[in-house]
Structure 1
Amino acid sequence: MRSACARLRALLVAVAVALCVNGLLGAAPAAADGGPKATPAPRAAPISRSYPRSFSTYDGLVEYASKVAEDQQTLNDQLADLAQREHATATALAAVLAPEVRHRLADVDADLIDSPRTARLRSQLAVDAAARQELVVSGATARAVEPWKLPLEGEITQGFGPTSAFFEPPLAYGGTVYAHFHAGTDIAASWGSPIYAPAAGTVIFAGTMGDGAEVVVIAHDSGLVSMYAHLDNFAHPPTVSAGDTVQAGDQIGNVGLTGITTGPHVHWAVWRDGELIDPLSLVGG
């Protein structure tokens, strides 16, 4: 009989603690007056954001996309920090409740749940839950950082960096001015070959630039922006539009001959925090 009572008592303790903590995490009450206050999350990159339909220059397009990527990373960082704080608060609350429930099983009632020691933690959980919801609505994500994939199968005909090709313009990169610099990676493939997003992100622009090139630009996590130029816009127009969310492997367009080009290929360029980087440096093995 005593053994059965002991088992029942232990079960009740576990259930009481679980209900207290899980109930608070799943349906946190509103913060009490004088308790922690929620700071409204910046609506930096809301889902319904309206993107410009055209850009007069590539620099203007990249600058705008980089700002979107920066805003997105700010939201992601805030969401990650909030998740850590919620975990710490829930752990602290469990530590407070467990010994009280164990030693005062007969008195488990509203007095325990609303005790001074738990009130502050409950209030903090409520504030954090509201802040998390606001961040998610604003577009924050908790995606894991993964190596990028190549945007298409083909032959790399010109790499990123200084070059002897006379038709490439001069560029200052890494503190050095180069007479000719190729600001991306060219991948040749047959006309109409599908092009895929190498990583998750949001399409900032899909359209024709002033030089006639059909272009798709995507803002990614970690302040990264990628561009795909010379896409087809006749038989196979881009399969995405500004504002679309893409995942790694989603088709965004097809190889074309638009703009200034000598053959069907994709000019693939990437920027981190507004600075050019070698696209292949992001590709995993």
Structure 2
Amino acid sequence: MVSRQSPPTDRVVAVLDFMVARRGERFGLSELARGVGLAKPTCLGIVTALTRGGYLVHDAVTKAYGLGPALIAAGRAAQNDFTASALARPELVELSARYDTVCAASAVVGEQIMVLERTGPTRAAATIKVGQTYPFAPPVGLMYVLWGGDRALDEWLARPPTLPSRIDRAHLRQVVDECRERGYLVESLSPAGLRLHSLMAGVAAYDLPAQVRDLVGEMVSSLGERVYLGADLATRRRHPVSLIAAPTFDADGAQELVLTLYVGGALTGAEIARRGNALAAAADAVTEQVSGRRPTGWR
């Protein structure tokens, strides 16, 4: 599937993003246009339409624009569609406090992966943000289909890749089977891999020029290669861990959310197991609260 860009729509989104990021503040047309990087006539057309729809308000005296009441209704509707993420927040808060780290809940929304909840220290706020998106196509997104059954996995593998990647199917099968049995995934990323992950944040699939995709693709390992297997964690040494992830399920037994506990350091196998089991227990609690159920069979 080829992504289709809509510059006019992108400009509307940019205005709303700018205002939401500065909620509580109001901006005149010139200031808003400079902040978003638009020409004043273009910005005026956008804010006029948004004001007419109630998404912005315009002060007749100060001539400043602020967020409007229509966003309240939109936000409530969106929250109702993501009940599981709201229920996950108390679980994530507890895990963040216990391990002094960032935790997040994310899911596939449309054609992208989106961060829906984020808890933990503010020092890492710049790296993980609510609303942050990633392309949902290989090599990004394995954990969002890993527990969803083989059909979901095969459909994801069939998507045109965001970046060139290799597939060692025998190894990937072992990763899938072990993670399903364990109930959580443990991933290690190199510093280069972490930078690549940051690069992909907010980048729509297929938007990178072909030469850039090929170059960056050389940094990408085989799918599942960054996931620790049981034999890896059985050794006594400490293991560099980027994150631990576990799934929640809806009433149909389909994978709904991924809860993530970020580590960013080296842990022993026993420490990894404690954190992984705690995260899986939190995910199970969310599944229970939404009257969900684990799949009865994987294949």
Scaled by the length of structure 1, the TM-score of the pair is 0.24
Larger helix share, 1 or 2: 2
Greater Rg by CA: 1
